[in-house]
Amino acid sequence: MIEIKVAELMAKMTLEEKVGQMVQHSGAEEITGTVARDINYKTDRIKRGLVGSMLNVTSMKKIREFQQMAVQHSRLGIPMIFAYDVIHGYKTMFPIPLGETASWDMDVLEAGASVAAKETAASGLHWTCAPMMDTMRDARWGRVMEGAGEDVCLNVQAAIARIKGFQGDDLSKVDTIAACAKHFAGYGFAEAGREYNTTEIGNVTLHNQVLPPFKAAVKAGVATFMNGFNELNGTPVTANKYLQRDLLKGEWNFDGLVVSDWGSIVELMNHGVAKDEIQAAELAVKAGSDMDMEGFSYEVALVDLVKSGKVDEALIDDACRRILTLKFQLGLFEDPFKYCD
């Protein structure tokens, strides 16, 4: 069983290697945010087994090269997961999600996601940062085209359809990829439609309009969640324990991994809730963020935070377990290069 294999592997891992699994770095082929480290820094850490995932590596040749660094040079040979923003097709382009959803044809949505999954997997990638299931009511927000619109019921059905299309019925199949429910939560209600902004949402709106698509995603078996850049009622969602630990991993019993949005952990400093990247890492990991996307807070701070007693190592173990479980589900331990054929 996967649980036994994960436990056996973790028993061999150092604290540094466990934290390494919680680190996601971007490649240099495509840039979707501010890059704070050069590729030489990243390849050195990959070879030491201190990077768990990469995104924005878009050629099979480069994916194979990076994967070889991880499995052939590191002590334990743990493969990486490769992610990409597959929003409305990979090679074959489909209508934007908002337009596609306007068809009200969930079979079309599922079929489109399935085609995208096949093309994505055939290019060496394992994981898409989609679907976006933010309920949104303000057309001024620049990302309205990426979601399913303002209707909660339609958002729920669209989320389920796209997850089924991406993931199929078995993640280990070579033509399926892991989906990601984003952005958890409230990002679509950003004040005045301004990106990265404050959201003020009452409990009725939160639980009846914002959260239902995400709860449906858990029931549909989505493999991963992504938190967001926004603040929700005074607390940035990346550091929101109620959302991530109490609700998602607790009440909803989600057993997959939660990845930050690009640099959203270090941006806790911009929100004014963390004085430095060390405190940002502490707040995020305690809240339930399992993987740091191109933020560098975790790799800089988590080991020392555990050794100083400020962070319980059980939190590191929980995050590492979730990440390794997905890698086993994808079949990467059996063949790290199965998607590079």
Which residues, other chains included, contact 105 with Cβ-Cβ below 8 Å and sequence gap of 6+? none
The DSSP secondary-structure symbol of 57 reads: -
pLDDT at position 63: 96
Angle (CA) 260-262-268 rounded to 5° is 70
Peptide bond into 88 cis (omega under 30): no
pLDDT at position 285: 98
Which residues, other chains included, contact 85 with Cβ-Cβ below 8 Å and sequence gap of 6+? 32, 55, 128, 129, 130
Positive or negative: CA dihedral 114, 252, 152, 195: negative
- For residues 293 and 82, what is the distance between their CA atoms, to the nearest angstrom? 12
Sheet with 53-55, strands from edge to edge, namely 127-128, 81-84, 53-55, 23-26, 292-293
Residue 256 CB neighbours (<10 A): 24
Backbone torsion region of residue 49, taken as left when φ is above 0, otherwise alpha when ψ lies between -120 and 50, otherwise beta: left
Per-residue pLDDT 10s for the chain (341 aa) are: 999 999 999 999 999 999 999 999 998 766 666 666 767 888 999 999 999 999 999 899 999 999 999 999 999 999 999 999 999 999 999 999 999 999 999 999 999 999 999 999 999 999 999 999 999 988 898 899 999 999 999 999 999 999 999 999 999 999 999 999 999 999 999 888 888 888 899 999 999 999 999 999 999 999 999 999 999 999 999 999 999 999 999 999 999 999 999 999 999 999 999 999 999 999 999 999 999 999 899 999 999 999 999 999 999 999 999 999 999 999 999 999 999 98
pLDDT at position 35: 67
- For residues 167 and 341, what is the distance between their CA atoms, to the nearest angstrom? 19
Contact by Cβ (8 Å): 184, 243: yes
Catalytic residue among 134, 151, 175, 261: 261
Give the residue among 52, 35, 70, 43 at the shortest CA–CA distance from 316.
52
261 assigned to active site:
yes
